[in-house]
């Protein structure tokens, strides 16, 4: 790279000079003059969300060069071949002598820097391999993806991690079966795991087969709240047992739920104070305040912000990893996909996972502070998870998505407080 040895260009027309820092591959390999029109193709099966960003990257290069780029479906014969690979994938490790040197274009895809690396291989062909270092490092749920399709009777490496995931969110509790020979720490897809998956599928409106099918994996790989869906085996999200309400004009099916024994704030305590731990990132203040206002508008509660963190009813902070409340966070894109959690009344603690990417509003690759606050405040007030996908109390939320309160949430809070 050029930053050491500066190359100066004098521009006669514009009367300024620029300092360049670009570099070439060793031997300055380049496309022959006859080859100004290049085709590119994705390895069949490449993730669909890569197509547009890569096309945009080519479109950006095209007007600034003599090149024209056309997408082709013929991967084998394309000039430029793009694929997602992990680990050693047979092109020779990038650091070995096979690779002369490399040039990178960077583009942003779902907040992750995808590096399109133009490799000059020692072979006669040029090729492009796409490497997502960020994705490799923080690829959450890899163990789940790898288990797609597995079912009772299977013994596959990684099933014990699936068991941990199911235990974490309340679907599996081997401690209840201490007297039997159990498979808590092995890779046996046993009957308990099958039944746990069936319950999960019911809660998430999936076909309850007990098989870890593609739809189930898709749900499990969405980032989520750290509060378990089932607490002490006694609560569950509502999709299994539907609760029907008759309304004057129509009837609705509710799916909200409460914590075990339905803890709530006493009637005398309708005015709650909240405080941020001193030093909390300032961009969280306004979105969290808006979330409180939204709940206030739909409940009997009033919320006011105070500075006295120790004595506030609701305490908000960003925490990292194991932070002393028995519910450690799992880091950015961690294996459990947890991004925040909060406690049932009247505990008042609300923690964001400091290691996740946070933003205000719908920002690609980041979680919306306000949307997550709406969900966690629901817990602080006594709501548990709902299996209504549109409800704020639905357990999972994707990056780049915003949500508001849903009729199911409002019905739930009114039912809990009898208002
Ligand atoms: Zn939650
Ligand atoms: Zn916590």
- Structure-block tokens of residue 11: 């521009």
Shortest CA distance to 110 belongs to which of 129, 72, 87, 84? Answer: 84
Phi and psi (nearest 5°) for 337? Answer: 70, 20
Q: DSSP alpha helices (H): ranges in 148-213?
A: 159-168, 191-203
**What b/e readout covers 291-302, taking b as 16+ CB neighbours within 10 angstroms?**
bbebbbeebebe
**Under DSSP, is residue 416 helix (H, G, I), strand (E, B) or coil?**
helix
Ligand-binding annotation for 331, yes or no, is yes
**253 beta partners:** 244
From the CA of 158, how far away is ligand 1's center (Å)? Answer: 26
Rounded distance from Cα 351 to ligand 1 centre (Å): 11
Residue 404 makes CB contacts below 8 A (sequence gap 6+) with 294, 371, 374, 392
pLDDT digits (tens, 9 = 90+) for 373-391: 999 999 999 999 999 999 9
Catalytic residues: 376
79 annotated binding-site participant = no
Strand partners of residue 341? 351
353 alpha carbon – ligand 2 mean position (Å) = 8
Is there a contact between 339 and 323 (Cβ–Cβ < 8 Å)?
A: no
pTM of the model: 0.66
Phi, psi of 63 (to 5 degrees): -70, -15
| Stretch 173-192: mean pLDDT | 79
Q: Which domains are assigned to the chain? A: 7-138 (3.40.390), 142-221 (1.10.101.10), 243-417 (3.40.390.10)
Q: How far apart are CA 192 and CA 178, in angstroms?
A: 13
CA 407 to CA 401: how far, in whole Å? 19
Q: How many A from CA of 328 to the centre of ligand 1?
A: 15
My answer on whether omega of the bond before 346 falls inside 30° of 0, hence cis, is yes
Sheet of strand 37-42, all strands in order from the earlier edge strand to the far edge: 68-71, 37-42, 80-82
Distance CA 100, CA 24 (A): 11
Closest ligand (CA of 392): 1
Alpha helices by DSSP H, 130-176? 133-138, 142-146, 159-168
In whole angstroms, give the CA distance from residue 323 to residue 310: 17
Q: Among the bound ligands, name the one nearest to the CA of residue 227.
A: 1
Over the chain, what is the mean pLDDT?
80
Q: Which ligand is nearest to the CA of 354?
A: 2
Q: Token digits for 382?
A: 């006594």
Q: Determine the pLDDT at residue 95.
A: 40
The answer on pLDDT for 97 being more than 90 is no
- Beta strands at 16-20 and 7-11: parallel, antiparallel or unpaired: antiparallel
Q: What is the pLDDT of residues 270-308, one digit of tens each?
A: 999 999 999 999 999 999 999 999 999 999 999 999 999
Reduce the DSSP state of residue 28 to 3 states and report it: coil
The residues, ordered by sequence, that sit 6+ positions from 103 with a Cβ below 8 Å of its Cβ are 23, 25, 117, 118
**β-sheet bridge partners, residue 223:** none
Give me the helices (H) in 229-383, please: 285-298, 369-381
The annotation status of 225 as a binding-site residue, yes or no, is yes
- pLDDT digit string (tens) for 205-228? 999 999 999 999 999 999 999 999
| Residue 228 CA, ligand 1 centroid: distance in Å | 7
Residue 196, SS3 per DSSP: helix
Range of lowest pLDDT (58-67, 115-124, 265-274): 115-124
Q: Is 325 annotated as contributing to ligand binding?
A: yes
Name residue 115's beta-bridge partners.
Answer: 106, 131
Task: Return the half-sphere exposure (C-beta side, CA atoms, 13 A cut-off) of residue 335.
Answer: 14
Beta-strand ranges (E) seen in 164-226 are: 224-225
What per-residue confidence (pLDDT) applies to 183?
Answer: 76
pLDDT, tens only, 110-147:
333 333 433 333 333 333 444 433 333 345 677 888 89
Question: Over 90: is that where the pLDDT of 59 sits?
Answer: no
Neighbours of 163 (CB within 10 A): 24
- Which three-class secondary structure state does DSSP give residue 241? coil
pLDDT (0 to 100) of residue 46: 78
Measured torsion, CA atoms of residues 42, 48, 51, 53, in degrees rounded to the nearest 10? -140
341 annotated ligand binder:
yes
Q: Which residue's structure tokens are 């039912």?
A: 415
């Amino acid at each position: 790279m050029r930053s050491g040895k500066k190359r100066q260009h004098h521009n006669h027309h514009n009367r300024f000079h620029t300092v360049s820092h670009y570099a070439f591959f060793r031997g300055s390999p380049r496309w022959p003059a006859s080859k100004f029109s290049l085709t590119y193709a994705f390895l069949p099966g490449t993730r669909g969300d890569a197509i547009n960003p890569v096309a945009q990257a080519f479109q950006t290069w095209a007007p600034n060069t003599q090149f024209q780029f056309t997408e082709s479906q013929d991967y084998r014969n394309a000039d430029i071949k793009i694929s997602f690979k992990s680990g050693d994938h047979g092109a020779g490790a990038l650091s070995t002598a096979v690779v002369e040197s490399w040039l990178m274009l960077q583009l942003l895809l779902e907040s992750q820097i995808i590096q399109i690396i133009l490799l000059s291989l020692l072979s006669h062909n040029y090729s492009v391999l796409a490497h997502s270092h960020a994705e490799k490092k923080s690829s959450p749920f890899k163990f789940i993806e790898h288990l797609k399709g597995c079912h009772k009777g299977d013994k596959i490496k990684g099933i014990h991690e699936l068991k941990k995931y199911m235990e974490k969110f309340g679907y599996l509790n081997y401690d209840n079966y201490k007297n039997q020979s159990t498979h808590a720490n092995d890779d046996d897809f046993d009957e308990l795991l099958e039944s746990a998956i069936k319950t999960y599928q019911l809660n998430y409106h999936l076909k309850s087969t007990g098989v870890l099918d593609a739809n189930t994996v898709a749900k499990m790989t969405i980032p989520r709240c750290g509060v378990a869906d089932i607490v002490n085996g006694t609560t569950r999200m509502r999709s299994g047992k539907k609760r029907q309400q008759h309304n004057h004009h129509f009837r609705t099916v509710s799916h909200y739920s409460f914590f075990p024994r339905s803890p709530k704030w006493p009637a005398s305590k309708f005015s709650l104070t909240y405080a941020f731990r001193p030093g909390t990132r300032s961009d969280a203040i306004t979105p969290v305040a808006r979330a409180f206002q939204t709940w206030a508008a739909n409940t009997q509660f009033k919320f006011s912000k105070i500075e006295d963190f120790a004595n506030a009813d609701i305490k908000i902070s960003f925490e990292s990893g194991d932070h002393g409340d028995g519910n450690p966070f799992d880091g950015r894109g961690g294996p459990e996909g947890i991004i925040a959690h909060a406690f049932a009344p009247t505990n008042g603690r609300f923690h964001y996972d400091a290691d996740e990417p946070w933003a205000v509003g719908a920002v690609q690759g980041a979680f919306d502070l306000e949307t997550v606050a709406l969900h966690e405040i629901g817990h602080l007030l006594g709501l548990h998870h709902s299996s209504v996908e549109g409800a704020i109390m639905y357990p999972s939320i994707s990056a780049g998505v915003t949500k508001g309160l849903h009729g199911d949430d409002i019905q739930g809070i009114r039912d809990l407080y009898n208002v």
